[in-house]
Structure formats: structure tokens, C-alpha cells
Structure 1
Amino acid sequence: MSEISSVDNVLSGLNIDKKKEQAEPSQELGQSAFLELMITQMENQSPLDPQDNTQFIAQLAQFSSVESLDKLNKQFDSFSSNFVANQALQASSLVGRSVTVPATQTGLSSGGIVSLSSHVPASTGDLSLNIYNESGSLVEQLSLGAQPEGEVLLRWDGMSMELNGKLLDWRSSKENGQPPGTYSFELSATNDGQQTALETALSANVNSVTVAQDGSLALNLAGIGTVNLADVKQFNE
């Protein structure tokens, strides 16, 4: 077994590709090569018109600056790669968890709950919610009554509805509630007979995490699709 390993090592050493790699010199001008070039330049300068010492010092300073910037760039690239890898590792722990993002539709899983949050810019005489199924049909319509200015939080399980932690006296129009699927939500406030649509943020389960070419992270959410990690408003328990 050791003899075979020795033969493999010899053949590996004779590998043509490796010989090419060894034969191809580096095209980069290193510090020693630069110093040799500068010394050669000094030895071969005209004694009648010698180069000013300040010019050599300027060349050294310029080379030193370029070399320092190159090292800094390499260190930053390494730091950036490690940061993205660490961020991706942390984001992978979100798979299977629920997050809240700005959206108008999301998925309702079996036995799951959809959380909807919104900001009411001014007190309203009536806050209403319409829920549509995947085909666009209106399946639930609910009047939430007068609401003051501020944040509202709704929780819907397909059968019952909570508003700001209080269970509403309302049941689904279906005997067994709405089935699992993708639903769209429209929240609107009515003042002086004028209805205004409100922006909503919905909860969704994280199915997977994607790392883009630019290093940014995207979450693939059930019923919503791909959302940038920076757009997440809340990480739910």
C-alpha cells in the first residue's frame, strides 16, 4: 500500500499541469523586485545627471502606499467573505420560523395563524378587513369598528379573529373555517364616508435562505415569495 502511495506521489510530481504552474512566473512586482529595480536604476544613472534622492524616496513611498492598499484590500475581502458566511449561517437558523414583512398576501398553514399589523394614521370611524382566497374570491369580510390612531395587530387562524390580543365575537363564514392556502388581505379605514387603504405587514414561515451574488441574503417565504432580509420587520416566536 505504501509503494502505491509513493508511485502516486511521483506521478503527481510529474504532472504536466503542475509543471506549467511552476514554470509560469508571477507577473506581480514584489517588494524585493522593486528594490532590485531601483538599485539597478541608481547604478546605471548618468554621473553627469544623477537622479535626485527625493525622487527615489517618492518612489519608495508610492510603492509602500500601493502595497499597503493591496494588503488592506485583501484583508477587507477576507473579512467581507467571513461576514457573509457568518450572516448566512445565522439566517439559516430562521428556516421553519415565522417572520413579519410588508405584504398583502401570505400563506395559512394547517393549524397555523396569520398575524397582520398596520398603522392607523388617524382615528377612524370604521376599520374593515377583506380576505380573498387564491382565486381572488372574497371569502371573509369583517368590520372592526372605530379605532384610534396607532398600531393595530390582527391574528387570524382561518376561523376566529383577534384584535390587539382580544378575541372578536366573529366566526368564519365556513363551518370549519377557511382551508390552508394563500390569502390576500385588504385593510381600510373609513372617515367621513371616504375609505382609505392601509399598508399591511403579514407573518409568513421561512422555507429557505438564499445568498445572492452581491452577498445580500434573501428569505423564501411561504405564500409571499422572496424577500430581502433587510425588509423583515419582526422575527416571531
Structure 2
Amino acid sequence: MAGGVNNVGQSGLSYVDQLKSLQEQKKPTEETGKKNLKQEDFLSLLTKQLSQQDPFKPVGNDKMIAQMASFATVDGIGKMNKQFESLNSSMTSNKALQASSLVGRDVLVPGAAGTKQEGKGMAAMVNLPQHVDNLMVRIEDAHGQLVKTFDAGAKPGGDSRVEWDGKDQNGQPLPAGRYKVKAAGMVDGQSKEFSVSTYANVNSVLLGKDKGNVLLNLAGHESPVRLAEVLEVGKA
């Protein structure tokens, strides 16, 4: 075996070939359905390797220690992965407990579509790249029909809150439902539409889905929203 790694024993197979052969013989476990090669298998193969080595070219101590260190590293990585899985599960549970306190509260999430309650208006947050002299706001219903436009006035750069009173262009209250808020203004002499975020009430918290992410069921939203997407927590 050259260098203590590729010796060909009495079986005519190299150490690497024997390792592959042993791995192929391992049957899938009932729990995972995957082929697992444990440290005991490596040690068994190493013992067989030593018993079949060329007596004129024995494995040196340094090569032996290197192989043992490799086995220990593989086993250590396996244990560390299990510890990380346990830590991730614990962190997810902690996030879920924190998220449960959001039930019944309003949260700000990306998206121009929000839910207007009966007899009330609706608020949104507009992200502006710079100061805007006249921020124009458009309100559209669930069918995309324009129901109102108004001038929110001058706004500084950054996140600016805008509020709609829930009435149409003629001052008549509109029914509860889904409405979309759009905002635009002049930037460097050109009209530009800005990104908008809206508020929604948290109905419930979902666990064990979306690869461990904590999800929030929001009023008026068809799909749950990840907790990490929440930009602001409002009043209950």
C-alpha cells in the first residue's frame, strides 16, 4: 500500500476500493433510508487493512495516526451536525414563543395590498429614495379600479407613513375589503413609483413549515408571511 493508503491486500482490492465495497453493502436504515457508514466500520476496515498489508512495506506510524485522525474527524462532524440540529430546533421553538405574542397585533409587511376594516381607514409605509415635494397616493380596490387619489404633501427620504381615510373621491365611505396603495412622485425630474408596505392583523402562528421558519397568518392575506419579513409591530 503506497503511503499507507492504496496498498493492495490479499483480496486484490485497494483500501479505497474496499471502503467503497463496504459502503455499498450497508443496507438503508429503516429511519432515514440512507446508507450510513459508522466509525466502527472504518476501524474494522483499518484492522483488515493492517492484517493484509505487505510485511515489506508496513504502514508507518505517521500514516496510521493520520488515518485515525480522519476517522475521528468524520465522527466528530457527525456529532456536531446533530448538535446543530438540536440548536436549530431550540431556536425555532424560541421564535415561535416570541411570535405568539404578535397574535392580535398589527404588523407591517412588504406589499401594497392591505385590508380596510369597516368604518375605518388604512395606513401604509412608503419607502422614498430622497425628499419628495409632492407624494401622490392612489387607492385601488380589489379589482384594480381607482377609487381615490390624494396629495400626501412633501415627504423626506426614507420610510414615510401615509394614511387614507377610507373614503372615495366624493367623500363617501367605502366598504371593508382589500385595497391597494400606490405612491409616486418626481425624482430628478421624472415620475417614479415607490415601494409600499401595508399593515395587517396577525391571526395565528404556524410552526413546522417552510424549513423551520416561523410563519404568520395575516388577516386578508391568502398566504402566510415569514416572521423575518415583518418590518414593524403596531398596536393590538
1:129-173 CA-partner distances (Å, limit 9, x unpaired): 2212223222222223444545421233525xxxxxxxxxxx973
Q: SS of the residue aligned with 1:126?
A: coil
Give the match for residue 193 of structure 2. 197
Cα deviation, residue 174, structure 1: 4.4
Structure 2 counterparts to residues 122-201 of structure 1, below 5 A = 122-159=130-167, 173-175=170-172, 177-190=173-186, 195-201=191-197
CA contact (8 A) 1:100 1:233 kept: yes
Structure 2 counterparts to residues 18-33 of structure 1, below 5 A = 29-31=38-40
2:222 equivalent to 1:222: no
Give the match for residue 75 of structure 1. 83
Distance of 1:230 and 1:116 partners within structure 2: 19
Distance of 1:35 and 1:120 partners within structure 2: 64
Cα deviation, residue 100, structure 1: 0.7
Cα deviation, residue 102, structure 1: 1.9
2:128 equivalent to 1:120: yes
2:90 equivalent to 1:93: no
- Shift in alpha-carbon separation, 1:181–1:217, aligned structure 2, 3 A: same
Normalised by the length of structure 1, the TM-score is 0.67
Cα deviation, residue 80, structure 1: 1.5
| Structure 1, unaligned runs of 5 or more | 1-20, 22-26, 160-170
Distance of 2:180 and 2:69 partners within structure 1: 64
Distance of 1:150 and 1:45 partners within structure 2: 72
- Shift in alpha-carbon separation, 1:236–1:64, aligned structure 2, 3 A: same
Residue of structure 2 aligned with 1:235, choices 224, 233, 236: 233
Distance of 1:145 and 1:180 partners within structure 2: 26
Give the match for residue 207 of structure 1. 203
1:180-212 CA-partner distances (Å, limit 9, x unpaired): 111111212247985332221111112333343
Cα deviation, residue 107, structure 1: 0.5
CA contact (8 A) 1:105 1:184 kept: yes
Normalised by the length of structure 2, the TM-score is 0.67
Distance of 1:199 and 1:103 partners within structure 2: 8
- State the Cα RMSD in Å: 3.3
Distance of 1:61 and 1:121 partners within structure 2: 56
CA contact (8 A) 1:102 1:231 kept: yes
Distance of 2:171 and 2:114 partners within structure 1: 20
Distance of 2:43 and 2:132 partners within structure 1: 78
Distance of 2:154 and 2:49 partners within structure 1: 87
| One-letter identity of the residue aligned with 1:212 | K
- Shift in alpha-carbon separation, 1:125–1:74, aligned structure 2, 3 A: closer
| Structure 2, unaligned runs of 5 or more | 1-29, 31-35
Give the match for residue 12 of structure 1. none
Give the match for residue 105 of structure 1. 113
CA contact (8 A) 2:216 2:226 kept: yes
Q: Percent identical across equivalent pairs?
A: 36
Which is strand-richer, 1 or 2? 1
Distance of 2:132 and 2:45 partners within structure 1: 80
Aligned residues: 200
CA contact (8 A) 1:97 1:236 kept: yes
CA contact (8 A) 2:116 2:176 kept: yes
